[in-house]
Amino acid sequence: MDPNSAHMTPDEFRRRGRQVVDWIADYYERIERFPVLSRAKPGEIRAMLPPDPPETGEEFDTVLADLDRVILPGITHWQAPGFFAYFPANASGPSILGELLSAGLGVQGMLWSTSPACTELETHLMDWLVGMLGLPERFRSDRSGGGVIQDTASSAALCALHTAREGARAAGRDGPLVAYASTQAHSSIEKGIRIAGIGEESLRLVEVDDRLALRADALAEAVAEDRRAGRVPFFVCATVGTTSSHAIDPLAAIGPICRREDLWLHVDAAMAGTAALCPELRWILEGCEHADSFCFNPHKWMFTNFDCDCFWVADRKSLIDALSILPEYLRNKATESGAVIDYRDWHVPLGRRFRALKLWFVIRHYGVEGLRREVRENVRIAQELAGKIEEDPRFELVVPPPLNLVCFRLIGDDAANQRLLDTLNESGEMFLTATRLDDRLVLRMSIGGTNTRAVHVERAWERIVAEAAKIA
């Protein structure tokens, strides 16, 4: 190493790396001491940062000290056992270390040849997961399909929409395109429609039933009506585990409509897909054999740190045709041989990091049985909580939770529920978020954190009951 160079030597990396590993281990040991939801006010973190960058390099210890002083007060602790907001983003030791190795190797997997292991491990794991979740065999890379890791389900949905649109256009289907999803579908569908230039007016939000799942009969009607009006139905997004309430759209009823009407069926199982690891929960994917594309997020509930969305297509050729461009500077023998996968053609970005490594570490550390055990325990805890809510006359269980998301409200008006929510979040002990169902404010408790055990949920429920008593 050049003595004039500012680069960190391997030896310094060894020393500093240990400090950082210790910092993280210490963080997890003291994680319950922080308020789950950050109490920082807008601008408060920035105010602690100097207006200009340093001209000369600073000591690593200074930077690490600022992590405690400047950053931690502005952290909402997603890994804390009291984090019940949104959906989990449950990191784990093996995953964090897989991510570290991926950063350390520093390879870029845009082409097979730019690191064959980056591509082949990913393809292999995606085939493993087809079996692990009981997905249709045609999603496997040795059939017509294949899987790829994307950053998020939003990007996956955009790729599905774009591929479906290109397919419809190539088939000569002229006229204004129409896509369908339930009123409960994730905002990423609308965002994807917009970015793909299809036009927001082309998205029909189909009615749901009393479990908040898409009504297949309403879908069929909407499609028929659009056809009568000369429009071109082309895409359906079915959600397995909606964000608001975990509703499971009935794939077995939606699928045949899509086949009959020649519509691309995309299944967004971003949150709930992980449950399919357990045979007894696999009913959520019944009918999935009709899907043209499917995604779920190990970075939500499968102990893999963000980002890691797994996306499959039944016909990889259509995806590649829709996204492939081969400029001169990317030409290489392996690509031209046709014997390899170049994942740059499977998503929006060209470059990509080695995300399969962390997923590999997770699956091997836990084993399939270990993953199932954790998922089952989350579901068990959630169902137990739901039981308590149902028995308590002061509360209402808004929908029976299919898995690990519990939606409930205090009997009373929205203001009372908002007050309850605010009090709980301000307590620092937990962080819950709300949604609106049937035009009423509903509290959501999502149970899937790596560090969340039964005792944390029991304690949270006691606190909820106590705060509710004060409000009433």
Residues in 238-297 that interact with a copy of itself by CB under 8 A: 243-244
Least distance from a copy of itself to the Cβ atom of residue 98, Å: 9
Q: Does 438 bind a copy of itself (CB under 8 A)?
A: no
Q: Determine which residue in the list 91, 164, 206, 248 makes contact with a copy of itself, applying CB under 8 A.
A: 91
The owner of tokens 């009997």 is: 411
Window of 287-295, 324-332, 384-392, 464-472 that interacts with a copy of itself by CB under 8 A? 324-332
The correct pick among 34, 36, 82, 92 for binding a copy of itself (CB under 8 A) is: 92
Residue 256: alpha-carbon gap to chain centroid: 27
- Of 394, 438, 218, 229, which is closest to residue 238 (Cα–Cα)? 218
Contact 462, 432 (CB under 8 A): no
- What is the rounded CA–CA span in Å between residue 395 and residue 416? 12
Binds a copy of itself (CB under 8 A): choice among 34, 61, 67, 316: 67
Q: Which residues within the stretch 192-211 sit at the binding site for a copy of itself (CB under 8 A)?
A: 194-198
- CA atoms of 135 and 284, how far apart (whole Å): 11
Least Å from the CB of residue 110 to a copy of itself: 8
Distance CA 80, CA 28 (A): 8
Confirm or reject binding of residue 217 to a copy of itself (CB under 8 A): no
Q: Using the rule CB under 8 A, is 340 a contact of a copy of itself?
A: yes
Smallest gap from Cβ 444 to a copy of itself, in A, equals: 7
- Please state, in angstroms and rounded to a whole number, the distance separating the CA atoms of residues 365 and 112: 26
Cα separation, 232 vs 174, whole angstroms = 7
> What is the rounded end-to-end Cα distance, in angstroms, of the chain?
69
Contact window for a copy of itself (CB under 8 A) among 62-70, 205-213, 231-239, 257-265: 62-70
Whole-number minimum distance, CB 428 to a copy of itself, in Å?
A: 14
Closer Cβ to a copy of itself, 34 or 290, answer by number = 34
Rule CB under 8 A: which of 157-176 touch a copy of itself? 158, 162, 165
- Subset of residues 22 to 61 that bind a copy of itself, contact rule: CB under 8 A: 22-29, 37-38, 40, 42-46, 49, 52-58, 60
**In this complex, which beta carbon is closest to a copy of itself, that of residue 55 or of residue 391?**
55
Contacts of 142 (CB under 8 A, 6+ apart): 127
- Using the rule CB under 8 A, which residue among 285, 288, 363, 381 binds a copy of itself? 363
Q: Of these, 61, 63, 229, 472, which contacts a copy of itself (CB under 8 A)?
A: 63
> Of these, 234, 294, 346, 361, which contacts a copy of itself (CB under 8 A)?
361
Site for a copy of itself in 303-322 (CB under 8 A): 303, 305-307, 322
Stretch that binds a copy of itself, among 4-12, 249-257, 311-319, 390-398 (CB under 8 A): 4-12
- CB nearer a copy of itself, residue 417 or residue 450: 450
Closer residue to a copy of itself, CB minimum distance, 175 or 370: 370
> Residue 435, interface with a copy of itself (CB under 8 A)?
yes
- Please tell me whether residue 84 binds a copy of itself under the rule CB under 8 A: no
Q: Look up tokens 């207006």; give the residue.
A: 51
Contact indicator for 179, 157 with CB cutoff of 8 Å: no
Contact residue for a copy of itself among 334, 416, 465, 471 (CB under 8 A): 334
Is residue 103 part of the contact set for a copy of itself (CB under 8 A)?
yes
Among the candidate windows 215-223, 232-240, 337-345, 461-469, which touches a copy of itself by CB under 8 A?
337-345
| For a copy of itself, the closer CB: 68 or 221 | 68
Residues within window 373-412 making contact with a copy of itself, judged by CB under 8 A: 373-374
Interface with a copy of itself, residue 117, by CB under 8 A: yes
